[in-house]
Homo-oligomer: A and B are copies of this chain.
C-alpha cells in the first residue's frame, strides 16, 4: 500500500499549470494568452473570454520569477528592519503594508540585528527579487554601508543617519520631540529630570538625548551624568533604570524615557516600590505607541506617526520606482507632537 503509485491516494500536486497549458486548452498561442490576461494587446472579445475561462479552470497563476526575468520588475518591495520586537514595529509594518498593498506590491520582509554581515546577507538575498527597498538602520555604520551600495535598486532609509546627499531618507523630529517634552517638564518646575537613554549606537537615541540636554541647558538646569541612565529600548531596560533612579539621593522628580517601552518598564518599577506617579515622580515616553494611553497612569509621550512613517517611506519608494523622481523630496522629516497625559501632567 505504501508502494502504490504516488498519485494513487490523493490527486494532489497536479503540476501547476503554465501558460502553455492555458494556450492549449484555449486553442490559441501563448502570446495570445499573455495578451488576453494582461490586456497588453489586441485580442478579440470571444478569444479573451475563452482564454480567461481556460485560465480559471486550470487555476493558472503566472510564475512570478519567469515574468520578472523578462520585465525586470518583480512587483515586490523589500523591507529590512533591525528587529521585529514590540508595538513600534508592528505599527510601522502596518503602514508599509498599507501603502504597498494599495500600489499592488508584495512585501519581502527581513529582520537583521545590526551585525554587518547579517544585513549584507539579507540585502543580497533580496537583490533581484525586489524593485526597491525600505531599510531601517538606526545603527550608524549600517547606514554608511548602504549609502554606498547603489546599484540601481532604489532605497529609502527610515530613521537612519545617512549623510549622502542624494539618499532618500525619512526621519522623525527626534531632537525636537525630546526637546519639547523635557521643556514641558522644566516648565512644570522639575529640577531633577532623568533620562533613560536608548542604545549608544542608535541614531534616534542619540538625537533624543541631544534634545534632552539642550532642553536642560535652555532651561538653566545643570546636566548631571548620574541622571542619564542607560537603556536599549526594551521594557526590561526601563524597569531596571526605574529601580536605579529610585536609589539616587535625592531621586529625580521626573523621568523621560527615550521610548514608550522603557517608560512603561519604569512605571512598573515605580509602582512596585509604591512610588506615586506623577505625585512623586513624573514619567514621560517617546513614540506614543497605541498602548500608551491605556497604561496606568496614562503615559505622556511624544507622538510619532509611526504607521504614517512606514506609509510615507513606501510612498517615497514607489515614487522612485515608477520614474525618476527628480522633483520629489529626498529628505522628509515628520513632525512629532507632545501628548500630555496623567503620568506627567
Contacts and interface: CB of A to CB of B under 8 A. Distances in A.
B290 A265 contact: no
Number of copies: 2
A150 interface: yes
Contacts of A297: 271, 296
Nearest to A64: B129
Contacts of A74: 65
A110 interface: yes
A103 interface: no
A89 B87 CA distance: 9
A207 interface: no
A97 B68 contact: no
Nearest to A84: B94
Interface residue tally on A, bucketed by range = 35 or more
Given A235-B294, A295-B296, A13 B151 contact: yes
Contacts of A84: 90, 93-94, 97
Given A85-B90, A89-B90, A90-B85, A294 B294 contact: no
Interface string A136-152: 00000000000000111
* Interface of A (DSSP majority class): mixed
A114 to B, nearest CB: 15
A16 B69 CA distance: 13
A151 B59 contact: yes
A16 B295 contact: no
Contact of A90 (B76, B86, B108, B265): B86
A257 interface: no
Nearest to A270: B296
27 contacts: A10-B166, A14-B151, A15-B152, A61-B124, A62-B128, A63-B69, A63-B128, A65-B65, A65-B66, A65-B69, A75-B125, A84-B93, A84-B94, A87-B90, A89-B90, A93-B93, A101-B110, A235-B290, A235-B291, A264-B294, A264-B295, A267-B294, A267-B296, A291-B291, A291-B295, A295-B296, A296-B296
Interface of A: 10, 12-16, 59, 61-69, 74-76, 79, 84-87, 89-90, 93-94, 97, 101, 106-111, 124-129, 150-152, 166, 235, 239, 264-265, 267-268, 271, 290-291, 293-298
